[in-house]
Amino acid sequence: MESSTIFAARKTIEQVEEGAELAPKFDEKGLIPAVTTDYKTGELLMHGYMNAAALAKTIETGQVHYFSRSRQAIWHKGATSGFVQTVRVLLIDDDQDCVWLRVDAAGGASCHVGYRSCFYRSVPFGDQVDTEPTSALELTFTETEKVFDPEEIYPGVPNPTKL
Amino acid sequence: MESSTIFAARKTIEQVEEGAELAPKFDEKGLIPAVTTDYKTGELLMHGYMNAAALAKTIETGQVHYFSRSRQAIWHKGATSGFVQTVRVLLIDDDQDCVWLRVDAAGGASCHVGYRSCFYRSVPFGDQVDTEPTSALELTFTETEKVFDPEEIYPGVPNPTKL
């Protein structure tokens, strides 16, 4: 499935915002952000990126394909770990520069660190913070147990996190 | 509240992924993506960006402040429209390069086009698409009525959407 066929050229703001043609915008690196939530619970599982080919492949197969910025390659989520994400609903935003994937996540995990969601720590705010803090804010873990051991699931695979 | 005080320097991958220090990563434009969902329904309302000052202001006030890429300025969401977003939970992801805001959205709308969510159109995929499509894919509107009329709420304000 060719992205040049299934994606329309962006011609007018009205077309993009109010029209029914899929006309996604890729940034200067050729990427569009992808927000992935659990279909049943609504939990945010991860935030990734897709290039045109990864979005076309996701549409074609119904399984989520991202573009890995660290490896600069299309990444079929779950190909290594088995934690495949099956699309239930795919949406695009007003100016068509972000997609929302509502998925069933196989194995109940989406995070390479081993947690269910990548968002396993909360940040204090408002009244929870001193008015004149003197050091970095302290995060609270919202998930306390890992679903899997990354060293078992990804043996020898470099950690994708960059400083 | 100074971002230089409340954000730690990023020193090791273990610190960033497994630690309890807030050490957000801003990209080469000084921005971090922000995913905003409705606290009650889990619906994805919008996907925006924050710079360090906007994130610090959000933490300080408990009201969401983004960085507007089109206006290149901090943007207190709702300052013009009244559709303020009040933070209920703020989370950060494994490598601390994305934040998740679970909010109460005043007025029940978050999208400048007038819809409840910015994600008001779905994209067909899998069996819903011809195996050899010959034209751009057709979106389906998932919201059929606007919550507000943008011309009333934003009189004279330029549309932020870029082609």
Chain A residues inside the 8 Å CB shell of B25: 162-163
Token pair listed for B92 = 């950060």
- What residue type is A11 in one-letter code? K
pLDDT per residue as tens digits for the range A111-144: 899 999 999 999 999 999 998 999 999 999 999 8
pLDDT per residue as tens digits for the range B80-128: 889 999 999 999 999 999 999 999 999 888 899 999 999 999 999 999 9
Q: What angle do CA B60, B61, B64 make, to 5 degrees?
A: 110
- pTM here is 0.94
Cβ–Cβ gap B93/A47 under 8 Å? yes
Cβ–Cβ gap B113/A18 under 8 Å? yes
Chain B residues inside the 8 Å CB shell of A26: none
Interface predicted TM-score (ipTM) over 0.95: no
Cβ–Cβ gap B17/A161 under 8 Å? yes
Of residues B25 and B108, more confidence is placed in: B25
First to last CA, chain A: 36
Ranges of H-type helices in B19-138: 52-61
Chain B residues inside the 8 Å CB shell of A42: 37, 41-43
* Nearest beta carbon to residue A163 from set B16, B92, B136: B16
